[in-house]
C-alpha cells in the first residue's frame, strides 16, 4: 500500500467507530505516518546540520586544552553525521540494487541498521586510535563483533519468518 492509501485506510477505520474521540484519533493518525519524501528531507537536513556542527567542533575546539566535553561533542557529531550520510546512501543502494521488492520502510530499516553498525565501528576505531590503544588485535575483535551482530540479526529475522512450533524449535 502507498503511504497515502495507508493513511486513508486508517482514517476510514477510525471513522467507523462512532465515538467522540474519532476526530482526535484521525488527526493523530495523520501525524503517525511519514512519507518517503518527508523522511529523506528530514534526513538530508539533519545530516547537513550534523556535518556543520562537526565542522564547528573541529575548527573551534582545541583538543589539547579541551576537557571531556570537547571530545564528546566531536565524536557525537561525527557519529550522527556518519549515520545520516551512510543511511541515505545505503537506502538508495538497497533500493536500486536490492534483489527483492520490499515496502519502502523495510529499505529504511535496513539502511538505518547498516548505518548504525558502520558508524559505531568507525567511531570506535577512531576513538581507539585517538587514545593510542588500537592495534591489530583490537581491530580484529571489533570486526568480529560487527560480523557477529550482523549474523545475529539475520538469524533472528529468519527464525521469525519460519515461526516453527515450540516442539520443532527445541528437541526436549
Mean pLDDT confidence for 129-154: 90
Q: Cα(36)–Cα(156) distance, rounded to whole angstroms? A: 27
If you average pLDDT over each of 19-28, 45-54, 86-95, which comes out highest? Answer: 45-54
Query: Mean pLDDT score of the chain, rounded to an integer?
Result: 81
Instruction: Tally Cβ neighbours within 10 Å of residue 87.
Output: 24
Residue 87 scores a pLDDT above 80: yes
Q: Which residues contact 34 (CB under 8 A, 6 or more apart)?
A: 3, 42
Calculate the dihedral angle through the C-alpha atoms of 137, 140, 142, 146, rounding to the nearest 10 degrees: -160
- Which three three-digit cell numbers place residue 72? 564528546
User: Could you give the 3-state DSSP secondary structure of residue 76?
Assistant: helix
Mean pLDDT confidence for 24-33: 56
Residue 138 scores a pLDDT above 70: yes
Q: Cα(153)–Cα(159) distance, rounded to whole angstroms? A: 10
User: Could you give the 3-state DSSP secondary structure of residue 21?
Assistant: coil
pLDDT tier, 54 (very low <50, low <70, confident <90, very high otherwise) = very high
Contact 127, 147 (CB under 8 A): no
> Any idea what DSSP says for residue 172?
-
Mean pLDDT confidence for 54-63: 92
Query: So what's the pLDDT on residue 172?
Result: 43
Amino acid at each position: 500500500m502507498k503511504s497515502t492509501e495507508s493513511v486513508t485506510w486508517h482514517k476510514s477505520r477510525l471513522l467507523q467507530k462512532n465515538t467522540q474521540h474519532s476526530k482526535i484519533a484521525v488527526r493523530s493518525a495523520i501525524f503517525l505516518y511519514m512519507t518517503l519524501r518527508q523522511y529523506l528531507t528530514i534526513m538530508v537536513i539533519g545530516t547537513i546540520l550534523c556535518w556543520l556542527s562537526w565542522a564547528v567542533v573541529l575548527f573551534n575546539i582545541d583538543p589539547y586544552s579541551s576537557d571531556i566535553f570537547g571530545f564528546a561533542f566531536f565524536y557525537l557529531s561525527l557519529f550522527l553525521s556518519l549515520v545520516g550520510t551512510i543511511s541515505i546512501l545505503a537506502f538508495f543502494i538497497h533500493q536500486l540494487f536490492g534483489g527483492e521488492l520490499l515496502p519502502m520502510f523495510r529499505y529504511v530499516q535496513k539502511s538505518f541498521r547498516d548505518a548504525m553498525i558502520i558508524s559505531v565501528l568507525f567511531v570506535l576505531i577512531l576513538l581507539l586510535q585517538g587514545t593510542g590503544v588500537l592495534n591489530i588485535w583490537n581491530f580484529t575483535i571489533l570486526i568480529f563483533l560487527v560480523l557477529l551482530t550482523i549474523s545475529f540479526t539475520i538469524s533472528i529475522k529468519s527464525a521469525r519468518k519460519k515461526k516453527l512450533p515450540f516442539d520443532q524449535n527445541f528437541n526436549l
